[in-house]
Amino acid sequence: MSQYVSRLGGRLTAGRTARHAEPPRLRLPAVGHHRKPRRIAMLSVHTSPLHQPGTGDAGGMNVYIVELAKRLAAINIEVEIFTRATEGGLPPAVELAPGVLVRHVDAGPYEGLAKEELPAQLCAFTHGVMQAWAGHRPGHYDLVHSHYWLSGHVGWLAAERWGVPLVHAMHTMAKVKNAALAAGDTPEPAARVIGETQIVAAADRLIANTTEEAEELVRYYDADPAKVAVVHPGVNLDRFTVGDGRAAARARLGLPQDALIPLFAGRIQPLKAPDILLRAVALLVDRDPSLRRRLFVPVVGGPSGSGMAKPEGLQKLAATLGIADLVHFHPPVAQDALADWFRAASVLVMPSYSESFGLVAIEAQAAGTPVLAAEVGGLPVAVNDGATGLLVPGHDPADYADRLRRFVDDPHLTERMGREAARHAQFFGWDTAAAGTADVYTAAMHDHRRRVRSHHG
């Protein structure tokens, strides 16, 4: 399968390497003739790929795991995803798609267990994974791919026990999050930092979403650059499309046709900073009260993580700012409905303090909608500043208000940027991401076999 691959500073990179460059069309050297895996064990301890994104701890990582697993299965790599059972009576295994099996592991109480309490359940989870493996012949799994640090610890043990390589994806990193905390947000605990450091040392390959994330792994965690591979996540380009356009989407959702609609879509927590959008809107209305008639601000998502401490905090903020009539809260929606929200919006607003990639930015652009985002993490890769959206250095609501004002003053800006955004998003298909990931697996297996041979030699 052809894909975009290049080398950057000794690291394998798939997708875009420079901030806005066209991806180079090169084949990965010295991998084509090595065997790719037949079946992999994928680990997602704290969030099930069957859960609705935007609820609890379910978010971009859920979408990533589901889409990647489906596309890997399509290129003949079977995937078994192990996840913690969060309710009683779940079947031990569910077929998510042909070639993709979700295995439910009993570990700790089903309900009411916060992500922060899960480290205590990792032994039980590992036991469940080992029990499932014990029913198979040796060599059933060729490789372990763990997602997030909790899964990394289980993956480390499983890979050692099974004699296979471990590929790990951080998704987010404690040291990076702690370096850019939102006001009032809780720092990640030292136990997570220690855990991540151990996983980085143990993994055969680390998959980073962007070149910046790859550099953070090296800088913060002393990762071996030769082990770090950059593979940009993809977007479901069949689901997130321009479709029948903005007017039709607004009609379906019952939204005003002539409104300026800055949309927030995601988990409601300080890290994602939806409060900055509300403060920016309040500034806009203070400066120009006539905008009150034109603004409609949807917030689509549920409280999550440290946002659970005050789940009604954002509604109270809207009331305090005097814009409760403009802000409309909607619970998380299924992916097809989310695509309609993206189509309907004038602009998606992502003022996050930290984003390893920012998948929703690509999803919105694929639906023909520009993105106004903080210049953090992977967002400068996801958003082509000035062409497919606007990037803001820092988190001053006044800066976001100024950028939103441009959409007020130029009624054609949404359509102009939206057309470019839809084109830009086409570079981020999941087929490309799956092919790049498969090449990382193949390289990890090759290195692992060579190491085992030299050890026994």
Annotated binding-site residue? 62:
yes
Taking the C-alpha atoms of residue 102 and residue 96, their distance in angstroms, rounded to an integer, is 6
Annotated binding-site residue? 178:
no
Residue 363: closest CA among 122, 17, 63: 63
Residues 6+ away with beta carbon under 8 Å from 372:
262, 347, 348, 349, 350, 389, 390, 392, 400, 403, 404
Q: Which residue type occupies 163? A: G
Annotated binding-site residue? 445:
no
Annotated binding-site residue? 350:
no
Could you write out the three-class secondary structure of 259-314?
CECEEEECCECHHHCHHHHHHHHHHHHHHCHHHHHCECEEEECCECHHHHHCCCHH
Q: Which residue type occupies 21? A: A
Annotated binding-site residue? 343:
yes
Annotated binding-site residue? 328:
no
Residue 295: closest CA among 367, 366, 346, 232: 346
Annotated binding-site residue? 115:
yes
Annotated binding-site residue? 175:
no
Contact criterion met (CB below 8 Å) for 347 and 389: yes
| DSSP 8-state class, residue 235 | B
* Token pair in block for residue 60: 């971009």
One-character DSSP codes across 110-132: SSS--GGGGGGGHHHHHHHHHHH
Residue 174: closest CA among 152, 157, 197, 151: 197
78-84 and 297-300 strand pairing: unpaired
SS3 28: coil
Inter-axis angle of helices 313-320 and 274-287, nearest 10: 10
Annotated binding-site residue? 363:
yes
Annotated binding-site residue? 57:
yes
Contact criterion met (CB below 8 Å) for 6 and 15: no
Annotated binding-site residue? 46:
yes
Annotated binding-site residue? 121:
no
Residue 109: closest CA among 92, 88, 95: 88
| DSSP 8-state class, residue 40 | E
* Token pair in block for residue 355: 């984003």
Annotated binding-site residue? 192:
yes
Annotated binding-site residue? 196:
no
Annotated binding-site residue? 172:
yes
One-character DSSP codes across 319-364: HHTT-TTTEEEE----HHHHHHHHHH-SEEEE--S--SS-HHHHHH
Number of CB atoms found within 10 A of residue 254's CB? 7
Residues of each annotated binding site for 1D-myo-inositol 3-phosphate: 46, 57-62, 115, 148, 172, 192
Residues of each annotated binding site for UDP-N-acetyl-alpha-D-glucosamine: 52-53, 60, 267, 272, 333, 355, 363
Residues of each annotated binding site for Mg(2+): 342-343, 345, 369
Residues of each annotated binding site: 46, 52-53, 57-62, 115, 148, 172, 192, 267, 272, 333, 342-343, 345, 355, 363, 369
